[in-house]
Amino acid sequence: MRCTPLAMLLLCLWGGLQAQAPAPAGATVEVIGYKALAEAAAYQSPELAGQASVLEGFSLNVGGLELVFSSGTATTVLVGGKARGLYLQGKGSFRYLARDPVLHPVLKFNLKENTEIVPKEEALGGLAVGEPLKEALVWFLGRDLPTLPTPSVPAPLAAFQATRQFFLDREEVNTNRIAQMFTRMPLGELAAYQAANEPGKAVVTAELVGEKEHWVYTHDPVRGRLESLFLQRPKVVEGGIPSSELIAVDYAPLGWNRKAPVDPDFRLAHIDLDLEASNKTFAKVKVEETIHIIRPGLRMLSFLLRDRNFSVSSFGQVKELRSAVKRVLLNGQQDLPFFHRDGWLLVDLRRAAGNGEKLKLTFELEGDLLFRVMSYDFWRLTPGEGWFPEPDMAGQSYTVKARIAVEKPFVAIASARTLSRSANATHNLLEVSSDKPILWFSVAAGKYESKELVKNGRTVRAWGYAGIGQGAEQLLKTAHGVLEFYSQYLGSAPFEEVNLVEVPSLGFGQAPAGMIWLTKEAFDAIGDDLNRMVAASGPGGWVNRLVSHELAHQYWAHQVKMWSFEDQWLTESFAEFSSSLAMRAMKNKGQTTWEIIVKDWQEKARKATKAATIPSANLLHPGRRSERETYGYRQSLVYSKGAFLLACLHQELGEAKFAQFLRLYLRSFAWYPPSFSQDVPDLLKAVSGKDYQAWMDRYFYGTDMPEWKP
């Protein structure tokens, strides 16, 4: 369940003990910390016990998983000398029962697209997935291992090492951000988190080697609060970098449901940040974070924090970039133990915190923080990529104060209100703040030039890469016109200052708070044939729709935030529909253009709707299709079908009541807390008096399409 603001103040956390441990390769570890941090490091080098037990029958049932080995061997897996898992070899099989019909379409689609596995419809409901097994590595966190026969044969060391190597946590290359969506921690970090915060709850994860596929099963009531099943595939990215890819099969909430989502561990309420950046990739960051504890019983905090990325030059050369945490302080004084690896940062609080206590943590980072495509003179720290320590998405609602120094001749741009610009002998300086709680604070820098237009108390700036394009003046006028329309239809614009920043590419946009990333056709729609073609494409013209959509995100993403990736339509579909209303209001557009846009949504949604429901659309993985088709399926649901649902509601409610619904949404969830999909039928009922839950179940949580009559 979501916490009310009052409930957020009535919770507590606990502290930890101390131990020492060596740091694994590639990790940043403060070694004087809580004993669980030592165990997190030890999971990188597990060992087999000296001998294996001969099996004449073995079974394990956890949640929806049934694991059976009729014959073979079982060997205890040791982590730091303690029994933490079993390695099974022989003649086995597994069966997993997926019970949630909301996930069944994407389960069927992903298996059909990526495997030869066919799920089986169960008489009592649910879909069963499974296949024969050759090996299984089962990890038991917080519970004893099953009893085995007396060990009597040599342990299969070579086979174990090969299997463990396959499943080792590697850089996940997956555009759908599986790890973030499911708070899917690597095994060692999950073990540390469980031992510190929920020692009385068991976590079981199984790495399964089937006859055809490799599978990862997790029953985690502690961190992700999910039972999940994934396919794992090896992948090689550009430059020959080995990686792994996760393909979602199923997940089931543990102790919550999608109509009443689980609270995050804590809320990030404020950041006070200093960033000093070079013109290359090196930077230093010092950020003080004010956090409010939500989940009682916490002894250890977990953050998303990138520890590496890859920069690709114009010659196709790949450089691995690394960053490191140098220090973590509590209340500016006490050093805290921490562990940083694989995109996760664990921090041991070292003491019990008072009930409802507000904590201030200071993080000092340095290294290759700045992702750059080497042929371009700019860098950007973009939303949600974990360039400073971040909680789960539902825990992000923070005010900002930041000071940014970038080496000349670069200038900095940030997604907050400009307080001052200055310079010293070597750096250009920027100071910004936001007194409205946002998420996805972003910073960019490069060889930018700006042009601004102030109108109706709002400042809009166009930042052109390597100069201002010919269309910048028209872009500023269009942006002001769209913002004025939104102010009339939706309410006052969320930010008094908006920076439109050029990316030297084509065909996309992105919208941090108070900042809009736009590609070059928006800044110069007539510069060359390719720019003209892209700018004019699509119903109503690409640039007008792009600018309107991204500006709508200032309302639908920041004023109203999404709780999780299941709720992403609250930002994308609502922004898409709002942009269509702005298009309808534009000169020479009108109702005809609007109806063409709605029909376009309808056509795209029809092609994709049977593949997945809207809340599961981010899990789609059309493996045999191109990357463009993969993105298109997800886009057709999260953007087009969601916007089409809103068009149908608009038609049913009428203009006045639908506008009232949007404005009520924006007032009810302004700035904090984040919203989730169940809020939609509640607000519709408040406006119309009609219960829309069955409608949501059929069209949003289901795969049917409503009717729209032009």
Question: What digits encode the pLDDT tens for the residues 550-592?
Answer: 999 999 999 999 999 999 999 999 999 999 999 999 877 788 8
pLDDT category at 626 given cuts 50, 70, 90 is low
More confident site: 233 or 358:
358
pLDDT score at 310: 56
Same domain, 589 and 518: no
Antiparallel, parallel or unpaired: β 266-277 and 241-253: unpaired
Mean pLDDT of 591-614: 93
Residue where a domain stops, chosen among 446, 474, 492 = 446
Where do the DSSP E strands lie in 554-690?
A: none
Does 508 map to a domain? yes
Cis peptide before 673 (omega within 30 of 0): yes
Q: Which of 426, 409, 428 is nearest to 418 (CA)?
A: 428
Does 373 map to a domain? yes
Same domain, 336 and 403: yes
Does 391 map to a domain? yes
Q: Is the pLDDT of residue 15 over 50?
A: no
Q: Is the pLDDT of residue 313 over 90?
A: no
* Cβ atoms 399, 320 nearer than 8 A: no
* Cβ atoms 377, 335 nearer than 8 A: no
* Cβ atoms 34, 348 nearer than 8 A: yes
Partners of 83 in the β-ladder: 78
Same domain, 53 and 133: yes
What are the phi and psi torsion angles at 589 (to 5°)? -110, -85
Provide, for the chain, the percentages of residues in helix, strand and coil under a 3-state DSSP scheme, each rounded to the nearest 5: 30, 35, 35
Residue 317's SS3 state is: coil
pLDDT score at 7: 28
Mean pLDDT of 481-502: 95
Please tell me the distance from the alpha carbon of residue 140 to that of residue 137, in angstroms, as a whole number: 10
Mean pLDDT of 288-317: 78
pLDDT score at 295: 85
Does 583 map to a domain? yes
Mean pLDDT of 603-623: 92
Please tell me the distance from the alpha carbon of residue 627 to that of residue 175, in angstroms, as a whole number: 10
Q: Is the pLDDT of residue 540 over 80?
A: no
Please tell me the distance from the alpha carbon of residue 231 to that of residue 245, in angstroms, as a whole number: 8
Does 283 map to a domain? yes
Same domain, 515 and 503: yes
Same domain, 117 and 83: yes
Partners of 493 in the β-ladder: none
* Domain residue limits at 367: 1-7+262-446
Q: Residue 657 has which token pair?
A: 């009541």
Residue 60 Rama label (left phi>0; alpha psi -120 to 50; beta): beta
Mean pLDDT of the chain: 86
Q: Is the pLDDT of residue 298 over 60?
A: yes
Structure confidence by residue, pLDDT tens digits, 651-666: 999 999 999 999 999 9
Residue where a domain stops, chosen among 424, 446, 468 = 446
Q: Which of 482, 480, 462, 471 is nearest to 540 (CA)?
A: 482
Structure confidence by residue, pLDDT tens digits, 389-443: 999 999 999 999 999 999 999 999 999 999 999 999 999 999 999 999 999 999 9
Structure confidence by residue, pLDDT tens digits, 20-71: 233 444 445 443 345 778 878 888 889 999 899 999 889 999 999 999 999 9
Q: Domain count of the chain? A: 4
pLDDT score at 376: 72
Same domain, 95 and 239: yes
Q: Which of 520, 514, 513, 522 is nearest to 545 (CA)?
A: 522
Q: Is the pLDDT of residue 452 over 60?
A: yes
Q: What angle do CA 408, 412, 413 make, to 5 degrees?
A: 165
pLDDT score at 539: 61
Q: Is the pLDDT of residue 309 over 70?
A: no
Q: Is the pLDDT of residue 132 over 70?
A: yes
Same domain, 466 and 426: no
pLDDT score at 23: 40
Does 551 map to a domain? no
Residue 660's SS3 state is: helix
Residue 303 Rama label (left phi>0; alpha psi -120 to 50; beta): beta
Same domain, 327 and 360: yes
Same domain, 212 and 73: yes
Residue where a domain stops, chosen among 380, 414, 446 = 446
Mean pLDDT of 670-682: 93
Q: Residue 710 has which token pair?
A: 């032009």
Same domain, 420 and 309: yes
Please tell me the distance from the alpha carbon of residue 564 to that of residue 637, in angstroms, as a whole number: 16
* Cβ atoms 619, 184 nearer than 8 A: no
What are the phi and psi torsion angles at 13 (to 5°)? -145, 165
* Cβ atoms 283, 309 nearer than 8 A: no
Q: Residue 41 has which token pair?
A: 């490091």
Q: Is the pLDDT of residue 9 over 50?
A: no
Q: Residue 376 has which token pair?
A: 């371009």
Please tell me the distance from the alpha carbon of residue 278 to that of residue 282, in angstroms, as a whole number: 6
pLDDT score at 170: 55
Q: Residue 396 has which token pair?
A: 């992000």
Structure confidence by residue, pLDDT tens digits, 216-272: 999 999 999 999 999 998 776 655 566 678 899 999 999 998 888 988 999 999 999
Please tell me the distance from the alpha carbon of residue 170 to that of residue 577, in angstroms, as a whole number: 38
First to last CA, the chain: 39
Q: Is the pLDDT of residue 353 over 60?
A: yes
Q: Which of 522, 510, 511 is nearest to 474 (CA)?
A: 522
Does 655 map to a domain? yes
| CATH code of the domain in which 643 resides | 1.10.390.10
Structure confidence by residue, pLDDT tens digits, 118-131: 999 998 889 999 99
Same domain, 390 and 414: yes
Question: What is the per-residue burial (b if ≥16 Cβ within 10 Å, else e) of 614-632?
Answer: bbbbbbbbbeeeeeeebeb
| CATH code of the domain in which 400 resides | 2.60.40.1730
Residue 285's SS3 state is: strand
Other CB atoms closer than 10 Å to residue 265's CB: what's the count?
25
Antiparallel, parallel or unpaired: β 318-330 and 358-367: antiparallel
Please tell me the distance from the alpha carbon of residue 118 to that of residue 27, in angstroms, as a whole number: 40
pLDDT score at 242: 62
pLDDT score at 571: 96
More confident site: 514 or 238:
514
Mean pLDDT of 373-382: 77
Who contacts 80 (Cβ-Cβ below 8 Å, separation ≥6)?
38, 39, 42
Same domain, 135 and 61: yes
Does 22 map to a domain? no
Mean pLDDT of 164-176: 61
Q: What angle do CA 616, 242, 344 make, to 5 degrees?
A: 60
Q: Residue 271 has which token pair?
A: 């950041």
